Chain A
Amino acid sequence: MRKIDAEKKAKAAASRPSVFGPDIDLAAYSAEAEDHGSVRRLKELPAEFKDRAAYVGIDAEEDCRAGSFFQADHTVMFSESRHKGLEVMSTVEALAKYDWLEDYWWEAVGPDTDKYTAQAELKQNSGYFLRALPGARAEFPLQACLYMTRDGLAQNVHNIIIAEEGSELHIITGCATAQRMRSGLHVGVSEFYVKKDARVTFTMVHNWAEDMAVRPRAAAVVEENGVFLSNYVCMKPVRTLQMYPTAYCMGENSVVRFNNILLAPPGSSMDVGSKACLRAKGSRVEVVTRAITSGGDIIARGHLIGEVPEVKGHLECRGLILAEKGRIHAIPELQGEVSGIDMSHEAAVGKIAEEEIRYLMARGLSADEATAAIVRGFLDIEIKGLPEHLKAEIRRAVSLGGKDRLM
């Protein structure tokens, strides 16, 4: 979309509330942030930045990484590709470099979706551009970190991810806040383009300050035989998180899978959905959500729309309520527009069966050990198609996230 068109649309939507989630007063957040400068190597980042980023899977040593992007508040401190088939830069830089980027800019997500997308357009603070050239395949993932340090700040980023024909792109992305930061707003627009025969795995881990408001806005366009795997892990307190990424299966035999792992401690409110529009023959989608509340609120949505025959979709949501005050609301929706589609869902919400805990206790495990074993098992979802080191990364995030609060 051309800049002037995007701006026009955004202006028209500047006060449009989101369909979901509590409304946020954008004026309550500041746009001012200090310039953090840049570093020549990722490991030269300040120690606290590195520590907090490590928690969300960002390796400052870049040992097993094909490239890195690091943005603190509004400053892109580092961006580099270490693989010749991959490009890593800020979207500001990419827009200046590539005229054709307009063809991707706001094409998957509308700038007028709500006031958050509007703000991302009107007050953009960079974001990352990650691209795999045709046929490129890197063994290791790219990593991208969006970091916030300043209390009360609004960070509005716009990310573009493109996997060209036949390429393979693995991404680890982490969002984190500085230790001392309490409140802030993060708006993150992410547009994914998965071309013919390409494959993208996107693993996102969030670790926010307790009083953060977070509004990611993401969509993926998947072409013929393309594969888009999205894994989302949020196991730390966040005042309000609302996101509903959408995948459009535009090409025949395209495959989409969303895995969401959510843990809501007291005071947290998470409204997380996954949506897919199946628009081409043979396309498939699967959504798997595991939600645990230890006192917070979770709304787990899912919406599959079968628009053409011969498509397949499945939604699975399981929720575990570990505390009296916690709430989980699973809202699975299936929408068939034609005949000849195969869509299903299963949802279950409850607490851990006492009988199972007692059974493990009869083997000598304490009540806490038994609970922890069952919770670990609950979160251990089989994530198909993910490289082994990314699986390890997710397991690590899950075990770190659960540790302080559950085990």
Chain B
Amino acid sequence: MLQVRGLTVSVAGRTILGGVDFHVDRGETVVLFGPNGSGKTSLLKTIIGHPDYRVESGSIVFKGRDITGLPTDERARLGIGIAFQRPPAVRGVRLKDLLQACIEIRGETDGEIIDEYARRLNLEDFLRREINLGFSGGEIKRSELLQLMAQAPDFIMLDEPDSGVDLVSINLVGEVINGMLQKNRRAVKRSRAGMIITHAGYILDYVNADRAYVMLGGAIFCSGNPRDVLADIRAKGYEGCVVCER
């Protein structure tokens, strides 16, 4: 589904990603671990085509097509979706209106589906509110997921969907992510794939991941079984990664 090769990215003249290589196959869910400031969010923003993140070399190939130079909206329309770690508030634009635009873009005409999605995330009362304006941390995470549901992308990037989410909501969040990633089907029958950034790994108690990548200093350092990798990081910290012989 997604192949990233030798991706080097700079922001304002400073290199923040240096030769990132990884791939995600159809039906897979991968996890991205890494210390604060290691470049995880930057990688996701580069994949969605944020213009501040300049690709110096390397490529991003999605569904067999090189999208490295495409604008953000075209990438979204091709089927890449992202739940941001810290999205902005959009004053004046109601959440419902954005969701409506999202479902229209994918050719869905039944507006009631929005209410159904909102119900699943316990966000019915937020539809009339302005996007993210005054939302709590956990509400923002759910609002991001709600927007992804309306978009229904094939490749779903989730930047810390579990940070700041309470114990009841994380259940909802997990269920919704599983639904979007078609976890009820066998992997070969799935048409979608996902990539999840998490620090503590809470979300992994709800969503099964196939593979983990560890990012250090702007590059993918290693990969492995998510539970093993998380256990190693818990035990030895990221310094352990540096000496790890995996």
Q: Which residues of A contact B (CB under 8 A)?
A: 353, 355-356, 358-367, 369, 373-374, 376-380
CB of B93 within 8 A of CB of A355, answer no
Does B164 sit at the interface, judged by CB under 8 A? no
- Give the contacting residue for B101; candidates A353, A356, A373; CB below 8 A: A373
CB of B91 within 8 A of CB of A377, answer yes
CB of A356 within 8 A of CB of B82, answer no
CB of B87 within 8 A of CB of A380, answer no
Q: Given A364-B106, A377-B130, 19 more contacts at CB 8 Å?
A: A356-B90, A358-B51, A359-B88, A360-B90, A360-B98, A361-B71, A361-B72, A363-B98, A363-B105, A364-B73, A364-B77, A364-B101, A364-B105, A373-B93, A373-B97, A374-B91, A374-B92, A377-B93, A378-B92
- Give the contacting residue for B102; candidates A356, A364, A367, A379; CB below 8 A: A364
Complex CA distance for A366 and B70, rounded to whole angstroms: 12
- Give the contacting residue for A365; candidates B50, B101, B130; CB below 8 A: B101
Chain B residues whose CB sits within 8 angstroms of the CB of A359 once the complex forms: 84, 87-88, 90
B153 CB, min distance to chain A CBs, angstroms? 9
Complex CA distance for A358 and B87, rounded to whole angstroms: 10
CB of A363 within 8 A of CB of B151, answer yes
CB of B72 within 8 A of CB of A358, answer yes
Offer 25 A-B interface pairs, CB within 8 angstroms, sorted by A: A355-B88, A358-B51, A359-B87, A360-B93, A360-B98, A361-B72, A362-B72, A362-B73, A362-B82, A363-B76, A363-B105, A363-B147, A364-B76, A364-B101, A364-B106, A364-B151, A366-B73, A367-B73, A369-B101, A374-B93, A376-B93, A377-B90, A377-B94, A377-B97, A378-B92
A364 CB, min distance to chain B CBs, angstroms? 4
Does B212 sit at the interface, judged by CB under 8 A? no
Complex CA distance for A364 and B84, rounded to whole angstroms: 15
Chain B residues whose CB sits within 8 angstroms of the CB of A379 once the complex forms: 92
CB of A363 within 8 A of CB of B101, answer yes
Chain A residues whose CB sits within 8 angstroms of the CB of B87 once the complex forms: 359
Does B216 sit at the interface, judged by CB under 8 A? no
Chain B residues whose CB sits within 8 angstroms of the CB of A355 once the complex forms: 88
- Give the contacting residue for B73; candidates A353, A361, A374, A380; CB below 8 A: A361
Chain A residues whose CB sits within 8 angstroms of the CB of B51 once the complex forms: 358
Complex CA distance for A377 and B128, rounded to whole angstroms: 12
- Which residue of chain B lies nearest to A367 when distances are taken between CB atoms in the complex? B73
Does B158 sit at the interface, judged by CB under 8 A? no
Chain A residues whose CB sits within 8 angstroms of the CB of B43 once the complex forms: none
Q: Which residues of B contact A (CB under 8 A)?
A: 48, 50-51, 71-73, 76-77, 82, 84, 87-88, 90-94, 97-98, 101-102, 105-106, 130, 147, 151
Chain B residues whose CB sits within 8 angstroms of the CB of A373 once the complex forms: 93, 97-98, 101
CB of A378 within 8 A of CB of B91, answer yes
Chain B residues whose CB sits within 8 angstroms of the CB of A380 once the complex forms: 92
Complex CA distance for A356 and B90, rounded to whole angstroms: 6
> Which 5 A-B residue pairs are closest in the complex by CB-CB distance?
A377-B92, A364-B76, A377-B93, A361-B72, A364-B105
Chain B residues whose CB sits within 8 angstroms of the CB of A367 once the complex forms: 71, 73
Chain B residues whose CB sits within 8 angstroms of the CB of A353 once the complex forms: 88
Complex CA distance for A76 and B90, rounded to whole angstroms: 47
Complex CA distance for A2 and B40, rounded to whole angstroms: 78
Complex CA distance for A369 and B102, rounded to whole angstroms: 12
CB of B90 within 8 A of CB of A374, answer yes
CB of A361 within 8 A of CB of B90, answer no
CB of B90 within 8 A of CB of A365, answer no
B235 CB, min distance to chain A CBs, angstroms? 36
Of residues B73, B88, B97, which shows the largest number of chain A Cβ atoms within 10 Å of its Cβ?
Answer: B73
Chain A residues whose CB sits within 8 angstroms of the CB of B50 once the complex forms: 358
- Which residue of chain A lies nearest to B104 when distances are taken between CB atoms in the complex? A364
A395 CB, min distance to chain B CBs, angstroms? 13
Chain A residues whose CB sits within 8 angstroms of the CB of B151 once the complex forms: 363-364
A381 CB, min distance to chain B CBs, angstroms? 9
A73 CB, min distance to chain B CBs, angstroms? 40
Complex CA distance for A298 and B98, rounded to whole angstroms: 30
CB of A362 within 8 A of CB of B48, answer yes
B113 CB, min distance to chain A CBs, angstroms? 16
Complex CA distance for A377 and B91, rounded to whole angstroms: 7
- Give the contacting residue for B88; candidates A356, A363, A369; CB below 8 A: A356
- Give the contacting residue for B76; candidates A356, A362, A378; CB below 8 A: A362
Chain A residues whose CB sits within 8 angstroms of the CB of B90 once the complex forms: 356, 359-360, 374, 377
Chain A residues whose CB sits within 8 angstroms of the CB of B91 once the complex forms: 374, 377-378
Complex CA distance for A362 and B71, rounded to whole angstroms: 9
Of residues A359, A363, A379, which shows the largest number of chain B Cβ atoms within 10 Å of its Cβ?
Answer: A363
B86 CB, min distance to chain A CBs, angstroms? 10
Of residues B82, B90, B94, which shows the largest number of chain A Cβ atoms within 10 Å of its Cβ?
Answer: B90
- Which residue of chain A lies nearest to B48 when distances are taken between CB atoms in the complex? A362
Of residues A355, A360, A367, A377, which shows the largest number of chain B Cβ atoms within 10 Å of its Cβ?
Answer: A360
Complex CA distance for A359 and B51, rounded to whole angstroms: 12
Complex CA distance for A355 and B87, rounded to whole angstroms: 9
Complex CA distance for A376 and B94, rounded to whole angstroms: 11
Chain A residues whose CB sits within 8 angstroms of the CB of B130 once the complex forms: 377
Complex CA distance for A363 and B152, rounded to whole angstroms: 10
